[in-house]
Structure 1
């Protein structure tokens, strides 16, 4: 029993002695590895703050700025960790970590494919100058003001004050019309006048009315006016003109004001805006006398 105890004691002491000698032999490398990690830790803090300041000038979403700075810090610390393991001659451990990170990244990527695609799409949208907060856009069947670009959704506020959350991936994969990229919009008005109307006078009066209503229209000739067809009850026309506007709501207001002004001008000038009329004409006169006999109709 004593002999077995001595053997176990010698084995444990030999292991501890070997570990101690290994630690002492690698103490300089350990100190260097610790110094490398500390240096890269402070480098990550400094660089992440610098990246945050630069990104915040381009991106107005705090969530995106935060995630970008964290990714930067983690990347720098990971580089420091790999260098520290290399200093300690732990190449096998380093290879194991890289392999495990690759497998884990693949599994996570497959599991969160939709979420990650929306996240990266949100980052891309945040750096696009063509789409910014406050712009009036139309996409995926919705139209409104851009109020938020998060890591998951593209949020717009419609004219009826309802919020619409659209996945960022859908914004990148579908067409997007941005009304705020230009300072002017063209207003289209379609109407019709009666066949008895003086067409030259209708054109002149319409152009003059719009010119008087909007300061942006310097002269009546700036209003484009075209007769388009002989309709069922009216001669139809199309007129269009430019206004200073950056949102669809302003365009709708301008169109409303134009329609009101044109209607008042036509009423004053006695110009008729007809509505569709259906006339039933009977050329043959039939005289049919019907009498009710025993609850039934009979013809005489």
Structure 2
């Protein structure tokens, strides 16, 4: 038999097989269309139900996506069994199991971020609009998705952070409360009265508009004997956003400086004392010559 006859015979067998499978293919297409309609309906019903809850929008989208994926997997399995009757659901599940293991090793980081994103979405501590700090990265949370989170730094730059980083490392949420305590160090000269200085500093701080004094007292403690001053640790409560902290520190430092100046209290700068082991001789003759020269002129 010549090669052309062999090729013709094979094409003829393929065509007959395709024609024989046309009813099964038609049923499989109908199953796929029905799967699409069911997935659309389930997603719509699920979204209506989830809209009545307080879940985050990203978490609602995740539930809708998982429900749709589950329906499509089931529909495609039914369509495959219709077209290939010898294919059983058990063999399909076994193939999916082996394939999922291989995919899991290949996309380990992606699945790690995916699972971390689900856990973060279930958490209520970190919300959209919070200011956070993690591994030296600080900024405002703008978006939390399944795989990544978007952090807007205070200088305006957008950082896309893998969710695994936020999940595995210590995370500081600076705006978890509306108020946050901040502090500065203020030094006064050694010859000043410590109690008087404390009262003056307290009055200056309590008079600032950015300082929260309701049930949040201003605390002032003598901290240490520094090289040139007695240092006070001054702590107070203000807003928790970074700009609130900067504004409050600016106002408090200005008020404390003004109050100490008005009271005649010295805020010293570092002094340096030089000690010589041997006594020094003063050149009085040189001073007399300079005075004499000035008198002649």
Q: TM-score range by the shorter chain?
A: 0.7 to 0.9
**DSSP 3-state at the match of 1:157:** strand
For structure 2, which runs of at least 5 residues remain unmatched after alignment? 1-11, 282-297
| Residue of 206, 225, 244 corresponding to 2:220 | 225
Structure 1 unaligned blocks of 5 or more: 1-11, 288-300
Secondary structure of the 2:231 match is strand
* Aligned twin of 1:103: 98
Whether 1:272 and 2:269 are equivalent positions in the alignment is no
Give the drift of 1:195: 0.7
Distance between the aligned counterparts of 1:168 and 1:185, measured in 2? 26
| 3-state SS, counterpart of residue 175 of structure 1 | coil
* Coordinate RMSD, CA, aligned: 3.6
CA contact (8 A) 1:211 1:218 kept: no
Q: Secondary structure at the match of 1:180?
A: coil
Aligned ranges 1:69-108 → 2 under 5 Å: 69-82=64-77, 90=85, 92-108=87-103
Q: What SS does structure 2 have at the residue aligned with 1:145?
A: strand
C-alpha distance in 1, partners of 2:175/2:57?
17
* 1:211-250 equivalence runs, <5 A: 211-214=206-209, 216-217=212-213, 222-243=217-238, 245-250=239-244
| TM-score (normalizing by structure 2) | 0.75
> Matched residues in 1 for 2:258 and 2:240: separation?
28
Counterpart secondary structure, 2:44: helix
Post-superposition shift, 1:168?
A: 1.0
**Residue 47 (structure 1) aligns with:** 42
Q: Which whole-Å CA distance do the structure 2 matches of 1:85 and 1:152 have between them?
A: 31
How do 1:1-300 residues align onto structure 2 when only pairs under 5 Å count?
39-53=34-48, 54=50, 58-61=55-58, 68-82=63-77, 90=85, 92-214=87-209, 216-217=212-213, 222-243=217-238, 245-285=239-279
